Amino acid sequence: MRTEILQSPAFGMLRVTFEMRDDRIVAEAGAMVGHTAGVKMTTEMQGGFLAAAKRKLLGGETIFKNTFTGTKPGQELLLAPGPQGDLQSIKLRAGESFTLLSGAYVAHTGDVKIDTKWQGARSILSGTGFFMLQATGPGELFFAAYGGIEKIDVSRGVLVDNGHIVGFTEGARYELKQFGGFRSFFLGGEGVVCRFIGTGHVYVQTRNVANLVSFLTPFRPVKGSDSTKGKLFDAMKGD
Amino acid sequence: MRHRIEYGPAFAWLRLRLNAGESIDTEAGSMIARTPSIGMTTRLNAGRSVGVLSWLWSLIVALSRKFLGGETMFINTFTAQDDGELALAPALGGDIVRRRLTPNLPPLIVQTGSYLASAPGVSAELMWSGLRGLLSREGLFFLRCTGEGDLFICAHGGITEIECRGGYVVDTGHIVAFEASLDYEIGAAGSGIKGLVASGEGLVCTFSGVGRIWIQSRNIQAFATWLNPNL
Amino acid sequence: MHIDVRHRPAESVAHVKMNAGESIRAESGAMLAMVGGIKVETNGPASSGGLLKSLKRKVLGAESFFTNTFKATDNDAAVWLAPRLPGDMVVHEVNSSHELMVQGGSFVAAPMSVSIDTRFEGLGGLFSGEGLFFLKIHGHGPVVLNAFGAIDAIDLDGELIVDTGHLVAFTSGVGYTVQKAADDWLTSLLSGEGLVLHLKGKGRVYLQTRNPDEYGKAAGRHLAPIEH
């Protein structure tokens, strides 16, 4: 099975080419862009109903996962995430773990186990709709970010703004810190930051969902009786 | 007319060089910059017929395009009084590609929101996608483009050209354009009710035959689904 | 100081490497990550003056008036800076030969050798989604600018008509007047172009290939509605 990442870093998309009989890839529901006719898709609730329901309630991910299998060599499958940004992968050895933002998960091959029970990093992202998952190998994990992805070595100590954390490797330890003093928390813009130390890397995305939300909120449709009138006016304006 | 597409696939824009007398039709609101020798006229986006009744029909078609097709009602035609330059871009992030149409090639079926600009010799007819289209969240209308000249289409995301030789399945939200030589059928991604509801995929379009399909690597619905838990 | 912009044009980030004693001032909220010994100080308004109080803070338009100064206490310290929305960044070197007018929201960072004045144009208008609000930048040193979309740099010597929402910055040799997109108001309104800027002169012009307002409308309507 060949995998190739296209259009990085703006609109990272994964192209999978099936070569052998047992080639399969599991992907987030909704990630499929297209595939050669003949590629089989089965849907399951990964981990059983309860685990899936918990993932759904905690937000940032759908319950369902799709498994794609090729039926003839040469068939292809294209997968893409929701936001614009880069798509990267990491190969995990058996037992090796990677902590990943729930909204960043795209797909995995091999026997990667995805665990949402891991309490540790719940606090990192309080205030956003996402939480952290722990992925354990063997296999390859494909993840996408909102923005470009910078891979930073933690051994010198790195301070990362919370809204920009995508994931980090085993061996990286973190602690939460307030940025600057009281004054900068409210005025400086950066709120809570995470200080990473240890070994390995932290993956940082170059954009932040909270800013996107605050930018788009005024443009959201409004539920109300005068919304049709508003729509008609906009239509006449040639928007 | 010469063209250059820059900054793809992220935030592509289309730069055109028009000689005196040349003109180009564009989606309203897409102009970024132009030299003063290029003038602009605006008309309803419904074709080029004349007369009161056809103007009324144009209005109806243009309005339905707006509400259902996601496109603006108006087309801006830029005409060069003297040699000049023009830069155009769509609203969403993504790529732009050019397709040169000739009467020998099959017509190009384009998703209405993907139309950016076309040379005067290209005709973009609004096409009702039939009952099959009723299932698609992305709208009931396509544009059927024929004629002779350059057609510029844009997408949300990067644009990938796929050669269909037999069969190819594409999530409807990712279709930008395809050649009319292909047959297509819209349906649920998975099988049965479970497939429709559970798989998370919206609807898919199964293409059969031989022809080219242009797809975009992002889908505004999937983007909204991803962002909604954060609102 | 060495500034390197990566992941252009969509997901750009400016990697600023500094040695002990060097510092850079950035708009608040721009920091993604920092490495090495860096002291951070939050400053008041980018420049003083009562005018700032009267400026309304738009979602994207107006600069936040608080900046953070990052000062390196070690050699090889680095800070990663990025703007709020997807888009490009570019570094423009300003010097005594010119000033740089930057549209509100497009300034990211500059060292202290660069001065920033706020100048409010007050041209809101019925048809234009963006109020024209410029910062006047002068001094000497690198200025990090951002855009929504890709940044195209044009060396202008003549005239150019530009859609107001697509102008990022221009140097002082270029003058501008605001005009209607078409000859009559109705066409200007229906054409979707609204107001345009007629630029004339000699200098550098930076354009962005997308318009945040149009993007907001196109993307926002697909999101979950706000319940009243």
Enumerate the residues of chain B whose CB falls inside 8 A of the CB of residue A83. 223, 226-227
B8-29: per-residue pLDDT in tens? 788 899 999 999 999 999 988 8
Alpha helices of chain A — where are they, by DSSP H?
49-58, 182-183, 209-216, 227-237
Asked, for residue A235, whether it belongs to a domain, the answer is no
What pLDDT, on a 0 to 100 scale, did the predictor assign at position A208?
Answer: 82
* Burial class of A72 by CB neighbour count within 10 A (0 to 12, 13 to 18, 19+): exposed
H or E, element range at A85? none
Per CB-CB distance under 8 Å, the chain C contacts of A161 are: 31-33
- Mean pLDDT, chain B, as a whole number? 81
Determine the residue of chain B that is closest to A41 in CA distance.
Answer: B190
Smallest Cα–Cα separation from A179: which of C32, C82, C107, C36?
C32
Which of B154, B211, B149, B156 has the alpha carbon at shortest distance from B179? B211
Which three-class secondary structure state does DSSP give residue A19? coil
Neighbours of chain C (3+ CB pairs under 8 A): A, B
CATH assignment of the domain containing A66: 3.60.160.10
Give the pLDDT score at C185: 65
Residue A98 has pLDDT above 60, yes or no: yes
Question: Angle CA(A101)–CA(A107)–CA(A110) in degrees, nearest 5?
Answer: 115
State residue B166's pLDDT score: 87
Residue B219's pLDDT band (cuts 50, 70, 90): confident
Q: Residue A95: in which H helix or E strand, if any?
A: none
Q: How many domains does chain A have?
A: 1
Q: What is the DSSP string of chain C?
A: -EEEEESTTTB-EEEEEE-TT-EEEEETT-EEEEESSEEEEEES-SS-STHHHHS---SSSSPPS-EEEEEESSTTEEEEE--SSSB-EEEEEE-TT--EEEETT-EEEE-TTEEEEEEEEEE--SS-SS-EEEEEEEESEEEEEE-SS-EEEEEEEEEEEEEGGGEEEEETTEEEEEEESSSSHHHHHHTT--EEEEEEEEEEEEEESS-HHHHHHHHHTTSPPEE-
3-class secondary structure, A138: coil
Residue A80 has pLDDT above 70, yes or no: yes
At the topology level, CATH places domain C2-220 in Double-stranded beta-helix (3.60.160)
Q: How far apart are CA A218 and CA B190, in angstroms?
A: 36
Considering only A217-226, B77-86, C66-75, C95-104, which range has the smallest mean pLDDT?
A217-226
In angstroms, the separation between the Cα of residue A39 and the nearest Cα of chain B is 9
Q: What is the mean pLDDT of residues A68-85?
A: 91
CB distance C189–A237 less than 8 Å? Answer: yes
Range picked from B130-139, B178-187, B190-199, C35-44 for highest mean pLDDT: B178-187
Q: Which residues contact A33 (CB under 8 A, 6 or more apart)?
A: A13, A78, A79, A80, B170, B171, B174, B215, B217, B219
CB < 8 Å from A in window 56-95 of C: 59-60, 64, 66, 68, 80, 82, 84-86
- Asked if A5 is an interface residue toward chain C (Cβ–Cβ < 8 A), one would say no
Q: What is the pLDDT of residues C23-71, one digit of tens each?
A: 998 877 788 888 888 888 876 654 433 333 333 333 333 444 567 889 9
- Domain regions of chain C by residue span: 2-220
Percent of chain A with pLDDT over 90: 32
* C-beta atoms of C9 and B93 within 8 A: no
- B neighbours by CB contacts (3+ pairs under 8 Å): A, C
What pLDDT is recorded for position A110? 92
Whether residue A23 contacts residue A76, with contact meaning beta carbons closer than 8 Å, is answered with no
C20 contacts chain A (CB < 8 A): no
Q: Which of B214, B77, B156, B181 is nearest to C219 (CA)?
A: B156
Residue A71 lies in a domain: yes
Let me know if residue A238 belongs to a domain.
no
Does the CB of A82 have a partner CB in chain C at under 8 Å? no
Of B9, B229, B231, the CB nearest to A10: B9
Q: Could you give the C-alpha distances from B83 to B13, B35, C57, C141, C183, in angstroms and in order?
A: 20, 9, 42, 38, 20
Average per-residue pLDDT for chain A: 78
Name the residue among B82, B66, B76 with its Cα closest to residue B30: B76
Contact between A83 and B226 under an 8 Å Cβ cutoff? The reply is yes
In the block, tokens 């923005």 appear at: A147
Pairs of CB atoms within 8 A across B/C? 113
Q: In degrees, to the nearest 5, what angle opens at C-alpha C10 toward C-alphas C8 and C16?
A: 50
Q: A219: which DSSP letter?
A: G
Out of B7, B34, B220, closest to residue C219 by CB: B220
| pLDDT, tens digit (0-9, with 9 covering 90-100), for A187-202 | 345 567 788 899 999 9
Q: Say if residue B230's pLDDT is above 90.
A: no
> In Å, how far is C183's CA from the nearest CA of chain B?
9
DSSP per residue over chain B, as a string? Answer: -EEEEESTTTB-EEEEEE-TT-EEEEETT-EEEE-TTEEEEEEESS-S--SHHHHHHHHHHHHHIIIII---SEEEEEEESSSEEEEE--SSSB-EEEEEE-TTSPPEEEEGGGEEEE-TTEEEEEEE-HHHHHT-TT-SEEEEEEESEEEEEE-SB-EEEEEEEEEEEEEGGGEEEEETTSEEEEEESSSHHHHHHHS---EEEEEEEEEEEEEES--HHHHHHHHGGG-
| The predicted structure's pLDDT at residue C33 | 87
User: Which CATH code for domain B2-230?
Assistant: 3.60.160.10
Which ipTM value was assigned to this complex? 0.79
Average pLDDT over residues A102-116: 88
Q: What is the pLDDT at residue A157?
A: 86
Enter the tokens of residue B30. Answer: 């897409």
Question: At residue B141, does pLDDT exceed 50?
Answer: yes
Asked whether residue B85 carries a pLDDT value surpassing 80, the answer given is yes
Q: Is the pLDDT of residue A224 over 80?
A: no
Cβ within 8 Å of residue A126, ≥6 positions away: none
Mutate to test the interface with C, among B27, B32, B76 (most CBs of C within 10 A): B32
pLDDT for the residue B126? 73
Say whether residue C182 is in contact with chain B using an 8 A CB cutoff. Answer: yes
pLDDT tens, per residue, chain C with 228 residues: 999 999 888 888 899 999 999 999 887 778 888 888 888 887 665 443 333 333 333 333 344 456 788 999 989 999 999 887 888 999 999 999 999 988 877 888 999 899 887 665 544 433 334 455 678 888 999 999 998 889 999 999 999 999 888 889 999 899 888 887 776 666 666 666 667 888 999 999 999 998 888 888 888 877 877 775
A59 to chain B: closest CA residue: B229
pLDDT for position B196: 44
pTM above 0.80, yes or no: yes
Residues B179, B109 contacting (CB under 8 angstroms): yes
Mean per-residue pLDDT, A30-57: 71
What pLDDT does residue B57 have? 65
Asked if residue B198 has pLDDT above 50, the reply is: no
Does A59 reside within a domain? yes
**pLDDT-wise least confident of B30-44, B177-191, C27-41, C121-135:** C121-135
| CB-based contact, B33 to chain C, within 8 Å | yes
d(CA A143, CA A151): 13
Q: Residue A229: pLDDT above 50?
A: no
Domain that holds residue A134: 2-221
Query: What is the pLDDT at residue B61?
Result: 64
Q: Which residue has the higher pLDDT, B98 or A163?
A: B98
Selecting from C27, C32, C220 the residue whose C-beta is nearest the C-beta of A220 gives C220
Nearest to B166 among A37, A81, A236 (CB): A37
C181 and chain A in contact, CB less than 8 A: no
